[in-house]
Structure 1
């Protein structure tokens, strides 16, 4: 197999490796990231190692999540790559009896160090989302929902009500934040 295909497969494995989070396979989740990696998603911003600890706390809470991950689009430059990957987050708070389905894209800066591709930085662009009601319609705090962009309002509401608050605005499809994120990613890729 040629090097290009091996590199693409290695990066695709990093993206689909997010399933380790859903399965509470914490050591395998940690292995997706370089030691200095950072993550910026709705409920967490900081070092990837701290994200794993936060995910462990989340797995012990009333919120459950599942991530469906597609094949990434990868752009290479030497030992760096940008991977943009469609994903769907399905979440549910079993106590509140409400869930959500959110479509997003992981935007990852990935780097090969010592022969191994790993994630350096993970960010997300939120495309659209909606609430789900697994046991029938329940009341929601409409005013609280309005605090978030519609693309991820359902997820943010669920996270906030589950004790994992969203503290800032994140990139949405076509937003200035998405453009800024991608411009910075391209600058990193070429540096």
Structure 2
């Protein structure tokens, strides 16, 4: 098999392995990242191992999430790759009887070490989102929702109300933050 095809398959397995988070398979989730890997998403920024610990706490809360993952687009340079993947985050807080959907793109930097590809850095770009009402319409605090960019206002609201606050602004489609993220990754890939 062509080496690049094998590399692409390994990276695709990493991306679709996000299912482990939804299933609570924490050990397999940890295996997706290098030990020095980092992640920056709405509710967490830092070392990936700490993210898994936080995800365990989230899994024990009223907030549930599910990720629908698309097919990744991979750009290689030697033992490095940039991976961009469409995803849909579906969230629901049973206590609040409120849910939300966020369409995002995971923007990953992957690296092959000792012949094995793993993720080095994951960031997210939020494209658009909305609230869902599983048991009928409930009131939301519009002032809280308005604190977040529209693209992830519903997700930010659910996270905050569930005890997982969003502490800064994240990249949205076409934003300066998205451009800076991609420029940084392109520099890393070329180095």
What TM-score, normalized to structure 2?
1.00
Report the alpha carbon displacement of residue 48 of structure 1 after superposing the two structures with TM. 0.1
What TM-score, normalized to structure 1?
1.00
**In 2, distance between residues paired with 1:53 and 1:32?**
14
**In 2, distance between residues paired with 1:56 and 1:125?**
23
Residue-pair matches, total: 191
2:81 alignment counterpart:
81
Structure 2 unpaired stretches of 5+: none
Runs of 4+ in 1 over 2 A off after TM superposition: none
**In 1, distance between residues paired with 2:57 and 2:94?**
16
Structure 1 unpaired stretches of 5+: none
1:143 alignment counterpart:
143
Report the alpha carbon displacement of residue 184 of structure 1 after superposing the two structures with TM. 0.1
**In 1, distance between residues paired with 2:174 and 2:39?**
21
2:57 alignment counterpart:
57
The 5 Å alignment of 1:119-134 reads 119-134=119-134
The 5 Å alignment of 1:1-191 reads 1-191=1-191
**In 2, distance between residues paired with 1:130 and 1:4?**
38
Report the alpha carbon displacement of residue 72 of structure 1 after superposing the two structures with TM. 0.4
